[in-house]
Amino acid sequence: MTVSSHKIGGPQGAAALILDKRIDITPLLHGGGQEKGLRSGTENVAAIVGFGLACELAVANKNTFASHTSLLRDAFEQGLKVIAKDLNIVIFGDKAKRLPNTSFFAIEGIEGETLVMALDRKGSACSSDSTEPSHVLLAMSVDKDLARGAVRVSFGLNNTLEEVLGFLTALQNETARLKQLTAIAA
């Protein structure tokens, strides 16, 4: 398992690799011989210290984080259900115990990457790593086309309810625009 520092508010460029010692790995970069030959290069001590502090803060604030972000996630998903009156929106895992800060959804007939790019152009902080459908959703027997439309939204301590409402407005507007383009193309 790899844990990136910046994902918990620490500096970029530091991470932890948690590895079962029974598993052999081959380094991508050779030289130096640090970490029993698995890593080369000089350690970024300042980033490592910052990562350690971010870990301490994350543990100390985990209850606050969970309650704040689950409130935002739930408000977001309620808003999705309101704007879904004209759309088929699926919220994956909404009945399961899950991370408090994350919502994973799809809108039937709209590719996730297209939606993410449209929202990014409107100023929402969005990114997409792959055009392939989630292997997890496929393993859950979710239709491949619906899985291709999946979008994950994550919330943090610094997010506000006003930002969630603004994002929902942008999502509703961009979804309507994309649906209109799809209708014209058909």
Q: At what angle do helices 62-83 and 161-185 cross, to 10 degrees?
A: 40
Least confident of 26-35, 38-47, 48-57, 157-166: 26-35
- What's the half-sphere exposure (Cβ side, CA atoms, 13 Å) at 110? 26
pLDDT > 90: what percent of the chain?
A: 46
**102: Cβ–Cβ under 8 A, 6 or more apart, which residues?**
73, 152, 153, 154, 155
Which pLDDT score is estimated for 166?
Answer: 94
Spell out the domain ranges in the chain. 2-60, 62-185
In the chain, % helix, strand, coil (3-state, to 5) comes to 50, 10, 40
Which pLDDT score is estimated for 36?
Answer: 76
Which pLDDT score is estimated for 42?
Answer: 83
At residue 169 the predicted structure's pLDDT band, cuts being 50, 70 and 90, is very high
Across the chain, the runs of DSSP E, i.e. the strands, are 2-4, 15-17, 89-91, 102-107, 151-154
Considering 14-18, 52-56, 80-84, 167-171, the range whose residues carry the highest mean pLDDT is 52-56
Q: What is the mean pLDDT of the chain?
A: 87
Residues 119-127 have a mean pLDDT of 70
Supply the pTM of this predicted model.
0.78
The CATH architecture annotation of domain 62-185 reads Alpha-Beta Complex (3.90)
**176: Cβ–Cβ under 8 A, 6 or more apart, which residues?**
none
Between CA 143 and CA 90 the distance in angstroms is 12
DSSP codes of every residue in 108-143: TTS-HHHHHHHHHHTT-------SSPPHHHHHTT--
At residue 146 the predicted structure's pLDDT band, cuts being 50, 70 and 90, is confident
Quote the tokens at residue 143. Answer: 């239709």
Which pLDDT score is estimated for 130?
Answer: 59
At residue 168 the predicted structure's pLDDT band, cuts being 50, 70 and 90, is very high
10 Å Cβ neighbour count for 68? 20
Which pLDDT score is estimated for 179?
Answer: 81
Which pLDDT score is estimated for 123?
Answer: 67
Which pLDDT score is estimated for 47?
Answer: 96
Indicate which residues carry an active-site annotation.
126
More confident residue, 149 or 165: 165
Which pLDDT score is estimated for 127?
Answer: 58
Helix (DSSP H) and strand (DSSP E) numbers for the chain: 7, 5
Residues 54-67 have a mean pLDDT of 95
